[in-house]
Amino acid sequence: MADIYLIKYSVKGIKAIDQLVSLSFYKKIIPKNADTQAYNIKGIYGMNGSGKSGIITSVEILKNLLIDSDYLNNPIVQKNLDAIINKKTSELFIEADYITKIGEEVTGFYRYNVTLLKGVTGRYVISHEALFTKKATSRSDAMHTIFEVDNGEIIMLIEEDGRKKFHVDFINKTKNLLLTSSACSLFYEKFLPSAIVGYNNEYSFVCVTLIDLLVFGMKLHVYLDQSDNHREYVAKNALQCSEGAGRNKNEINYIISNLLRVDNDWLDVISITHNCIPKECYKAFEKMVNKLYEFLKIFKSDLQGIEIDKKENRDKWVCDLVMVYDSYKIHAEYESTGIKKLIQLFAYLNEMVEGGIVFIDEFDSNIHDVYLCALLEYLMEYGKGQLCFTTHNVGPMDVLKHHKKSIDFLSEDHEIYSWTTSGNYSPSKLYRNGMIEGSPFNIDSIDFIGIFGSGEEDE
């Protein structure tokens, strides 16, 4: 299977972002043998409210649209979209350019875009969706359409000799479904694996490109900081409204069940408590916890091990983590916030090392600057995938500056300014001094006088 690398990501219409914001992850001209390792990390800086978390949130939406055909039918999702889609644009537009690789050789270049718009029923639907391709090494921007969907109808599907049956089946099986489900997710649900073996026993180009798009969606992994993960708030709000309206227990249970299946990330994320592990998967979980211990021991040298407190629940084990030290044991719930954050991030970092495309919001929160820089240096050198993260910590800038396309500044007016090496200048020093365009450091201590007081009134 071909590897996938994200080249460019663009979004408009999420939270405060009311104009197109684009992140570039590689140089414009793509050689036949692309050295993506030198571009595998990106840090996004910007003042509070500039839209950093909105970008990460939109990636999570894209992932869910690509792999879950029922995503937009979830009432919790609809309530969340209603709250976070920009009120000025009234629609969400997402576009991703990505390449496929076998080894170092680039085998394909694709552009996928999707637009969500509130339909006549008051629910968000897919108003437009399209997949394009071109020769990866071409200097031309001209793209060829693989498929295009407008208002639920396939208006373009690339012609292939001898593939008429598949084309007819694809159109028929997705009919009346493309407003609420992406073509990729429907292909996954209705055609895989029969589509790749059941039509003259040969691969269709459309099949291959949809499989690559599906793999791209599955490779995306998003960690949202708790303050920007609104699902629990939306669910509680929905539950309160349900109870206030006198709805029955079945309706409330329906809301809860929909909340539980909002997250379609299939990562084996280790939780501090209540890891529900099928019994046949327990050995793999145990192995992952041992790997977590080796990871955490770097940060806490006195950690002796991690025990698993497991309780049987039918065909599953419900597992909690217990941290073992020289003279005592402690439930992981009572660990420091920094260690708990590292436990949560472990699976995401592991996925990036293995080749995933990982987005982390507020990577620096609760993690010491020295540890953060060491982690980034390791991932830059050994990570097989990509990492894009938001941060306020300027410490990692002098690590990131050694990689290309690795530092983006998001201004208050949602413009992206990319760092380019300029002699021996330090990006962190320039940023602190407000010498980078879009820098937020244009306030002074005297600006707070009159808010908290100057102290003169006490004299």
Q: How many CB atoms lie within 10 A of CB 373?
A: 17
Amino acid at 146: I
Half-sphere exposure for 192 (CA within 13 Å, toward CB): 17
Distance CA 23, CA 387 (A): 13
Q: How many domains does the chain have?
A: 1
With cut-offs at 50, 70 and 90, classify the pLDDT of residue 166.
confident
Please state, rounded to an integer, the average pLDDT across all residues of the chain. 85
Residue 28 tokens, joined: 């414009």
Instruction: Give the pLDDT score at 366.
Output: 86
Q: What is the C-alpha separation between 64 and 347, in angstroms, rounded?
A: 19
Least confident of 265-269, 353-357, 378-382: 265-269
List the 41-46 sheet strands across, edge first: 220-223, 357-360, 386-390, 41-46, 407-410, 416-418
| DSSP, residue by residue, 240-255 | HHHHHTT--HHHHHHH
Which backbone phi and psi does 19 adopt, to 5 degrees? -140, 165
Residue 44: the pLDDT is: 95
In the predicted model, what is the mean pLDDT of residues 15-36? 91
Residue carrying the six token digits 């339909």 = 119
Please compute the mean of the pLDDT values over residues 187-203 and round it to a whole number: 66
* pLDDT for residue 453: 65
- Domain assignment present for residue 274? The answer is no
DSSP state of 269: P
Kindly report the length of the chain.
459
Digit-coded pLDDT (tens) for 104-129:
889 999 999 999 999 989 999 999 99
pTM over 0.85: yes
Give the chain's count of helices (H) and strands (E): 13, 17
Does the residue 282 lie in any domain?
Answer: no
Q: Is residue 447 part of a domain?
A: no
pLDDT at 379 over 80: yes
Task: Determine, yes or no, domain membership for 293.
Answer: no
What is the rounded CA–CA span in Å between residue 125 and residue 120? 9
Q: Using CA atoms, how far apart are residues 9 and 199, in angstroms rounded to an integer?
A: 34
Give the residue among 443, 284, 298, 291 at the shortest CA–CA distance from 375. 298
Tokens of 17: 């972002």
Residue 120 neighbours by CB under 8 Å, 6+ apart: none
Predicted local confidence at residue 300, as pLDDT: 92
**Who's near 255: CB < 8 A, 6+ residues apart?**
75, 76, 235, 238, 239, 242
Tokens 């365009």 appear where? 437
Query: Is residue 299 situated within a structural domain?
Result: no
Tokens 């010498």 correspond to 435
**Which stretches within 249-336 are classed as H helix?**
249-260, 282-299
Distance CA 23, CA 310 (A): 43
pLDDT digits 0-9 by tens, 267-317: 778 999 899 999 999 999 999 999 999 999 999 999 999 999 999 999 999
Q: Within a 10 A sphere around the Cβ of 438, how many other Cβ atoms?
A: 20
> Which residues lie below 8 Å from residue 308, measured CB to CB, with a gap of 6+?
285, 286, 289, 319, 320, 321, 322
How does pLDDT run across 211-248, given as a tens digit for each residue?
Answer: 999 999 999 999 997 655 544 444 445 444 544 444 45
Tokens of 187: 């292909």
Exposed/middle/buried for residue 412 (C-beta within 10 Å: 0-12, 13-18, 19+):
middle
**Domain, as residue range, for 251:** 1-267+356-369+380-442
Task: Tell the residue number behind the tokens 């217990």, with chain if given.
Answer: 322
Which one, of 199, 156, 191, 148, lies nearest residue 170 by Cα? Answer: 191
Per the domain annotation, does 292 fall within a domain? no
- Whether the predicted pLDDT of 258 surpasses 80: no
pLDDT of residue 141: 85
Task: State pLDDT tens for residues 416-429.
Answer: 988 876 556 778 77
Interval 80-95: pLDDT, tens: 999 999 999 999 999 9
3-class DSSP assignment, residue 349: helix
